């Protein structure tokens, strides 16, 4: 029967063609042989010209051919998909346990200097203290003898938290009152940490920077003790004899207050661009603790006194390594960080 021969021929040629089809060609193959307008459908249009018996036989043959081709199509499809997945797994294989090729990390320069500073002050009998970065108005300003209308409280300097009388601490001096309330005098503390200001950034200003607060409380301390501690620390830190001088400076929490200058480490005194030809570089504010601050910390100013200083940690690191822009510290720039 010619129609049955046609079906057999179609089946053979479809199977042969399937062996050559890739994934992209599969849909086309299906449409060509088994689709509504495909070859098999065309052949079966001849059924109407056959006798009932012939039609039954040819119909059965066509049914088996369709089943066989459908099954072959599915098998081919699965095998091609699996091969494609295998190829992808082989090319994109990633070993989660393989060591990374990015080299070793290390401590940030600020962290290195912080630990060094803690060691140097610990040797001098200081205790390392810590305080929260989110502070109360009282600890950051009020108890440090800032008046209610002091300009430092201004929105332009301080990051206030919404709806609270809380703020991001603007200096590590906030640890002073906490220390007095926590420790029994006499004591010496150093408190390194992160501080925040609401301000435009440039080469020497960051909205996030690092300080180390120092405070010593005892009986009969004087400015001479302050100078001695600062000289000892700075000479150890810069690994050479360092000369310091004090100029009057006004800060609400000290009386008298000073700006401590360090003799220029670059030129040694005669003057250079780094010290703006003055021979001195302004380094830190300090002074004798104001009686109001002692009272706020629960200490009797008739018995106890002391000094405090606020080391600019970021500035210290910049001076030691001659870093020209404070914004490098938080840039996340690996080429900068890898130098330390």
The token duo for 200 is 């435009």
Quickly tell me which residue has 């008739």 as its tokens.
Answer: 302
What CA–CA distances, in Å, run from 224 to 186, 277, 308? Answer: 17, 28, 13
Task: Find the shortest distance in angstroms from Cβ 281 to Zn ion.
Answer: 7
Q: Which of residues 188-217 bind Zn ion (CB under 5 A)?
A: none
Contact 229, 221 (CB under 8 A): no
In the complex, least distance from residue 280 CB atom to Zn ion, rounded to whole angstroms: 8
Least CB distance to Zn ion at residue 268 (A): 7
Q: Considering beta carbons, is residue 234 or 264 the nearer one to Zn ion?
A: 264
Radius of gyration of the chain (CA): 41
Shortest approach of Zn ion to residue 238 CB, angstroms? 14
Q: Residue count at the site for Zn ion (CB under 5 A)?
A: 6
153-159-165-170 Cα dihedral, nearest 10 degrees = -60
Q: Which is nearer to Zn ion, 18 or 316 (CB)?
A: 316
Give min distance, CB of 335 to Zn ion, in A.
28
Distance CA 18, CA 70 (A): 11
Instruction: Label residue 197 left, alpha or beta by phi (over 0 means left) and psi (-120 to 50 means alpha).
Output: beta
Segment contacting Zn ion by CB under 5 A, of 18-26, 68-76, 257-265, 293-301:
257-265
Instruction: Give least dist CB 263 to Zn ion, A.
Output: 8
Candidates 74-82, 166-174, 242-250, 272-280; binding stretch for Zn ion (CB under 5 A): 272-280
The answer to whether residue 264 forms part of the interface with Zn ion (CB under 5 A) is yes
Does residue 267 bind Zn ion (CB under 5 A)?
yes
Both tokens assigned to 240: 């050479």
DSSP string, 92-148: S---TTSPPSS------HHHHHHHHHHHHHHHTTPEE----SEEEHHHHTGGGT--T
Applying CB under 5 A, which part among 142-150, 189-197, 207-215, 269-277 lies near Zn ion?
A: 269-277
Q: 74 or 278, CB closer to Zn ion?
A: 278
Residue with tokens 């600062």: 230
For residues 47 and 6, give the distance between their C-alpha atoms in angstroms, rounded to a whole number. 12
Return the HEC string of 161-212: CCCCCEEECCCCCHHHHHHHHHCCCCEEEEEEEEEECCCCCECCECCEEEEE
Q: Which residue is nearest to Zn ion (CB)?
A: 264
Tell me how far, at minimum, the Cβ of 265 lies from Zn ion, in Å: 8
User: Which structure tokens are listed for 228?
Assistant: 């001695």
Q: Scanning residues 274 to 313, which ones bind Zn ion (CB under 5 A)?
A: 274-275
Interface segment toward Zn ion; rule CB under 5 A; list 199-207, 232-240, 265-273, 324-332: 265-273
Q: In the bound complex, what is the minimum distance in angstroms from residue 278's beta carbon to Zn ion?
A: 8
Between 106 and 276, whose beta carbon lies closer to Zn ion?
276
Interacting residue ranges for Zn ion, rule: CB under 5 A: 264, 266-267, 272, 274-275
């Amino acid at each position: 029967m010619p129609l049955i021969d046609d079906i057999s021929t179609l089946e053979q040629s479809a199977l042969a063609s399937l062996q050559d089809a890739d994934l992209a060609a599969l849909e086309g193959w299906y449409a060509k042989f088994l689709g509504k307008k495909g070859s098999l459908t065309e052949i079966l249009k001849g059924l109407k010209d056959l006798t009932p018996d012939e039609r039954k036989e040819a119909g059965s043959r066509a049914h088996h051919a369709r089943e066989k081709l459908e099954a072959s199509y599915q098998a081919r499809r699965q095998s091609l998909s699996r091969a494609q997945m295998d190829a992808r797994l082989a090319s994109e294989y990633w070993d989660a346990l393989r060591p990374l090729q990015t080299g070793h990390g290390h401590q940030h320069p600020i962290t290195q200097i912080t630990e060094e500073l803690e060691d140097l002050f610990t040797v001098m009998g200081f205790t390392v203290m810590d305080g929260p970065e989110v502070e109360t108005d009282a600890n950051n300003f009020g108890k440090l003898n800032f008046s209610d209308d002091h300009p430092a409280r201004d929105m332009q300097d301080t990051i206030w938290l919404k709806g609270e009388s809380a703020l991001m601490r603007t200096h590590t001096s906030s640890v002073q009152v906490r220390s007095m309330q926590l420790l029994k005098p006499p004591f010496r503390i150093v408190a390194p940490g992160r501080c925040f200001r609401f301000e435009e950034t440039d080469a020497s200003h960051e909205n996030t920077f690092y300080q180390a607060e120092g405070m010593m409380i005892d009986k009969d301390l004087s400015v001479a003790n302050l100078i001695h501690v600062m000289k000892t620390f700075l000479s150890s830190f810069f690994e050479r004899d360092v000369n310091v001088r004090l100029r009057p400076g006004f800060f609400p929490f000290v009386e008298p207050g000073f700006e401590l200058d360090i003799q220029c480490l670059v030129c040694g005194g005669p003057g250079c661009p780094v010290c703006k030809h003055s021979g001195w570089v302004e380094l830190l504010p300090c002074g004798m603790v104001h009686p109001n601050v002692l009272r706020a910390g629960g200490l009797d100013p008739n018995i106890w006194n002391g000094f405090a200083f606020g080391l600019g940690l970021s500035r210290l690191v910049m001076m030691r390594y001659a870093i020209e822009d404070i914004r490098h510290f938080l840039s996340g720039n690996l080429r900068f960080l890898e130098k330390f």
